[in-house]
A and B are shown apart, each in its own frame.
Chain A
Amino acid sequence: MSPSRFRFALFLTALVALLLGGPAAAQSLNVDIVGGLKTATPITVVPFAQNGGAPLPTDVAAVITNDFNRSGKFRVLPKSDIVEFPTKGAEIKFPTWKLLKQDYITVGRISDAGGGMLRVEYELWDVNKQQSLLAQAFTAPAGDLRGVAHQIADQIYEKITGVRGAFWTRIAYITSVGLGNNMTYSLIVADSDGFNPQVVARSKEALLTPRWSPDGRKIAYVSFESGNSAIYVQDITTGSRQLVEAHPKGVNGSPAWSPDGTKLAVALSYVGNLELFVLDLQTRKETQLTHNLAIDTEAVWAPDGQSIYFTSDRSGQPQVYQIPAAGGTAQRISFHGQRNAAPAISYDGKQLAMVEGQGNVYRIAVMDLGLGGQVRFLSPGPLDESPSFAPNASMLLYAATEGRRDVLYAVSADGLVRQRLELSDGDVRDPSWGPYRQR
């Protein structure tokens, strides 16, 4: 337990002991708080009341609580410390929540809306001002309660932080199960917290580099199912897919969607060694962007579509470069650390995440492009990779190795809160955070 977490726990223990005259239950959330959370906003999410009906498959308040805790922006009062259970604003006794040093409180209730639908109502209140900030209702089937919970979390997040929430989003990743010749690789799409995993593609050969189209409808990825690497674009709703790059000679890798969704940057080596190309998905025309003897790969488009960041070892070691999307001269971007690769860019183009290798330690680093290339580390290593920003850049996903297993982590953009996503029995890797969803 880190000193700050320990202090926080001590504080809670003392507080609850004061209120209840007994010891606090141990905090059992699977959230690794790695530093101080002085800036995190204290908020209470009271368990939502249910007015009759069958038991619900989802604890809505628990989903919201988990979203908030892993965001790093909020510190949610542990459920065991909740002493009163208001279900609407009129029932909130503000002095209680003031005493618990809460800034905000969320209450809610779920009722039968008929026709197999549920009505979920919630309110957000400012504890100090005793003022209602939000009062909204959703109607949804029981099977979509998690989705409703994430949308509530998004609305509250935006109301308090001023930044659009990204909890109601999806992620894609690759799993592999089995050994030797009995491996099964799967491309999975799941909710941002890892729930509701759905298999999009399955293969006996390696799958890698899933990338969401900007509209969230398709995923481009690399598959070795035909023997060599090939790039496919698959519609995740219909399952229909297109083979878009399959040169028999060399690597067909590293797909990256242009922000308008009309092009893919790809890395192809049929020309002799890995070079970047831009593929127009409509005309199928390939335009070669780089021309040298180095490895050029791992492209990602700047949000304005004008340039492409990528990995190249033209200087002897892999480093991150930037090249105009229409072609031109590449400029080196990364100078901190021995090796830098696999760039990812935030929606506003201000932050560049990458894998920085120093000796045998590979960590996720974020470079502030606006602050003279200042670099901060978000992960401890030693074999972390595949950083991917949430669409609001509040968090990142990355892949890590623990013992013999590959696992995924979600980390807040400030690096202070890290959570391992419990996803699969086998190895999990290559995460990619999808765009905002359309209601």
Chain B
Amino acid sequence: MNKTVRVALIALMCVGAAACSKKQEVKPAPPAPAPEVAQTEAPPPSNKYTPEDLDTDACLRQRVVYFDFDKSEIKPEFQQIMACHAKYLQDRPMAHVRLEGNTDERGTREYNLGLGERRGNAVADALQANGASASEMEVISYGKERPVCREHNEDCWSKNRRVNIVYTAK
């Protein structure tokens, strides 16, 4: 690592630390579906995100997008999450996300591979519409093969119909 890069990194970390201290009072994001993000203020456009923000920023910490049955439209309550992750990807051109599409247990296995992919693509499209670059993301579908909940009811199904945003490079 050369000196210029190191200095730049330190500078970035300082900005990150400042951003963190500013947001101490923000509560951790609830893990349940349809989280309330309204109280989280989007960062001012002049502030660039840093990798630390992934752990501390209330919006960036939300990495799961939930869907309605057999649907792949991004619901309005997730638009803000799309915006902050898109901004992160814009601020960090070397960052990379894997968008993991999942479905609930209803419907056939291979069809659900298609549905999970459609959801992953919907998140990819929303991130790009918000300024992220297509080269910073990949979509993978697990269909119904990776449930987080195995009860046979809507509460559980709603937790499984999701796209996980996984940062493979920060």
Using a CB–CB cutoff of 8 Å, the interface residues on chain A facing chain B are: 206, 208-209, 224, 227-229, 249-251, 253-254, 267, 269, 273-274, 295, 297-298, 311, 313, 317-318, 339, 341-342, 355, 357, 360, 362, 382-383, 385-386, 401, 404, 429-430
Where chain B touches its partner, the secondary structure class is mixed
Is B111 a contact of A224 with CB atoms below 8 Å? no
- Which candidate, B34-42, B47-55, B100-108, is the interface stretch facing chain A? B100-108
Of chain B, the residue at the smallest CB distance from A429 is B109
In Å, the complex CA distance between A74 and B141 comes to: 45
Is B145 a contact of A341 with CB atoms below 8 Å? no
Is B142 a contact of A206 with CB atoms below 8 Å? yes
Chain B residues, CB < 8 A from A362: 106-107
Please pick, from A228, A298, A430, the residue contacting B111 in the complex, using a CB distance under 8 A.
A298
Is A229 a contact of B105 with CB atoms below 8 Å? no
Chain B residues, CB < 8 A from A342: 108-111
Q: Can you list 20 A-B pairs with a CB-CB distance of less than 8 A?
A: A206-B145, A206-B146, A208-B109, A208-B110, A224-B142, A227-B140, A250-B139, A253-B110, A267-B113, A269-B117, A295-B114, A295-B115, A298-B108, A313-B111, A357-B107, A383-B106, A385-B108, A385-B109, A386-B108, A401-B152
Is A311 a contact of B146 with CB atoms below 8 Å? no
CB distance from B31 to the nearest CB of A (A): 16
Taking A229-B113, A269-B117 as given, write out 11 further A-B residue pairs in contact, using a Cβ cutoff of 8 Å, ordered by the A residue number. Answer: A250-B139, A273-B121, A311-B110, A317-B70, A342-B110, A362-B106, A382-B152, A383-B106, A385-B109, A404-B150, A430-B109
Which 7 pairs, one residue from A and one from B, show the smallest C-beta to C-beta distance?
A295-B114, A206-B145, A342-B108, A274-B114, A341-B108, A254-B110, A297-B110
Is A253 a contact of B113 with CB atoms below 8 Å? yes
Of chain A, the residue at the smallest CB distance from B148 is A180
CB distance from A428 to the nearest CB of B (A): 13
Interfacial residues of chain B within 136-170, with CB under 8 A of chain A in the complex:
138-142, 145-146, 150-152
A-B residue pair count with CB separations less than 8 angstroms: 86
Q: How many residues from B make CB contacts under 8 Å with A?
A: 24
CB distance from B149 to the nearest CB of A (A): 11
Of chain B, the residue at the smallest CB distance from A293 is B118
In Å, the complex CA distance between A390 and B66 comes to: 39
Is B107 a contact of A318 with CB atoms below 8 Å? yes
CB distance from B116 to the nearest CB of A (A): 9
Instruction: Check A209/B110 contact, CB under 8 A, given A273-B117, A295-B115, A295-B118.
Output: yes
Please pick, from B70, B114, B138, B150, the residue contacting A297 in the complex, using a CB distance under 8 A.
B114
CB distance from A340 to the nearest CB of B (A): 10
Chain B residues, CB < 8 A from A318: 107-108, 111
Instruction: Check A295/B111 contact, CB under 8 A, given A224-B142, A273-B117.
Output: yes
Please pick, from B111, B118, B139, B150, the residue contacting A341 in the complex, using a CB distance under 8 A.
B111
Of chain B, the residue at the smallest CB distance from A179 is B150
Chain A residues, CB < 8 A from B150: 404
In Å, the complex CA distance between A250 and B151 comes to: 29
In Å, the complex CA distance between A422 and B118 comes to: 36
Please pick, from A267, A317, A360, the residue contacting B106 in the complex, using a CB distance under 8 A.
A360
Of chain A, the residue at the smallest CB distance from B140 is A228
CB distance from B67 to the nearest CB of A (A): 15
Chain A residues, CB < 8 A from B113: 229, 251, 253-254, 267, 274, 297
In Å, the complex CA distance between A234 and B117 comes to: 26
Chain B residues, CB < 8 A from A339: 107
Of chain A, the residue at the smallest CB distance from B146 is A206
Chain A residues, CB < 8 A from B115: 295
Is A224 a contact of B114 with CB atoms below 8 Å? no
Please pick, from B105, B114, B138, the residue contacting A251 in the complex, using a CB distance under 8 A.
B114
Is A249 a contact of B111 with CB atoms below 8 Å? no
Instruction: Check A311/B142 contact, CB under 8 A, given A269-B117, A273-B118, A295-B118.
Output: no
Is A357 a contact of B111 with CB atoms below 8 Å? no
Of chain B, the residue at the smallest CB distance from A311 is B111
In Å, the complex CA distance between A253 and B106 comes to: 18
In Å, the complex CA distance between A360 and B109 comes to: 16
CB distance from A364 to the nearest CB of B (A): 11
In Å, the complex CA distance between A362 and B114 comes to: 19
Chain A residues, CB < 8 A from B138: 249
CB distance from B130 to the nearest CB of A (A): 21
Is A298 a contact of B106 with CB atoms below 8 Å? no
Instruction: Check A341/B114 contact, CB under 8 A, given A206-B142, A206-B146, A401-B152.
Output: no
In Å, the complex CA distance between A295 and B138 comes to: 19
Of chain A, the residue at the smallest CB distance from B154 is A360
Chain A residues, CB < 8 A from B140: 227-228
Chain B residues, CB < 8 A from A250: 117, 139
Of chain A, the residue at the smallest CB distance from B153 is A360
Chain B residues, CB < 8 A from A206: 142, 145-146
Which of B107, B108, B118 is packed against the most chain A CB atoms within 10 Å?
B108
Chain A residues, CB < 8 A from B108: 298, 311, 318, 341-342, 355, 385-386
Of chain B, the residue at the smallest CB distance from A249 is B138
